[in-house]
Amino acid sequence: MAFFKNYGIQKAKDLANFLGEALVKFDPEAATEAAIAEIEEKFDKLNLAFSNAKKSWEKENKEAEAIVSLYNQRLAAAEYLQTMPDKVDALNQLVSLLEEMQADVEREKQEAQEAKQYMDELENLVKQYAAKLKTARHTVEQAQKAMQRAELLKQQAQEKAAAAKMASGLGGSSSSLSSALDHMNKLAEQSLSEADAASRKASLLQPTQAEDNPDIQAAMAAVTGKTSASTSIQDRLSALKLR
């Protein structure tokens, strides 16, 4: 059971811390006033407790002083009676009373001392909180400025990171563009080479003016088994006979 109780307390603290941080980010001015008000509230409670402790000490101190004063007065009276032999009975009675009073005197003195110690402790706490309250606004405002500066530095760092990322992307784009241009240039060179080859092929396969020469034509016909237009009559007749 103790584990779950402490677990719940820790979770509650974590939630309170989370809500506190969210409040500071959302409304730092209100958070500042709330923090100062909390310190002032604690100061008021301590101050009231100190006032009550002071009254209690004054009461206990008066009672202690009264019983000590009475004790000393009775002790002086006993010493006075001691000088009178005929007052032995009164002396014995007074000494017995003094012996009984000793415990009460010590108790009253102890209670007054404890009340004084408690009052002093509260007085020190009141003084500490008074000093804390005086410097609270300045301290919280300094913390607020530090938070704002940290937020500004964070934004600047994010902007620098974004700029660096953009620059990196621009470099990548340049590399991509350069690569695309290289491909285009290679394709252009390849197209030029193919065009040059096609042009050369067409030029080589196109009939030349030299073939218009009758002698060249006859020679080409002779090597291919064809006769030219200037074949002799004898050859023509021979050809007819073969049919």
Give residue-wise pLDDT tens across range 102-117.
999 999 999 999 999 9
Token pair listed for 100: 């009984």
pLDDT at position 19:
42
SS3 227: coil
Whole-prediction pTM value? 0.46
Task: Please list, in sequence order, all residues whose beta carbon lies within 8 angstroms of the beta carbon of residue 20, skipping any fewer than 6 positions away.
Answer: 31
pLDDT at position 29:
65
pLDDT band at 238 (very low <50, low <70, confident <90, very high): low
8-state DSSP, 84: -
Give domain limits for the chain. 2-165, 214-242
**67 pLDDT exceeds 50?**
yes
Higher-confidence position of 120 and 132:
120
- CATH code, 2-165: 1.10.287
Q: Is 232 left (phi over 0), alpha (psi -120 to 50) or beta?
A: beta
**214 pLDDT exceeds 90?**
no
pLDDT digits (tens, 9 = 90+) for 22-52: 444 555 566 677 777 888 888 899 899 999 9
End-to-end CA, the chain: 130
- Label residue 64 exposed, middle or buried (CB < 10 Å: 0-12, 13-18, 19+): buried
Least reliable range by pLDDT among 52-61, 115-124, 129-138, 193-202: 193-202
In the chain, % of residues over pLDDT 70: 62
Question: Residue range 198-216: average pLDDT?
Answer: 62
pLDDT at position 143:
75
Cα–Cα distance measured from residue 126 to residue 40, given in angstroms and rounded to the nearest whole number: 11
**93 pLDDT exceeds 90?**
yes
How does DSSP assign 176-223, residue by residue? HHHHHHHHHHHHHHHHHHHHHHHHHHHHHHSPPGGGGSHHHHHHHHHH
pLDDT at position 64:
94
**175 pLDDT exceeds 70?**
no
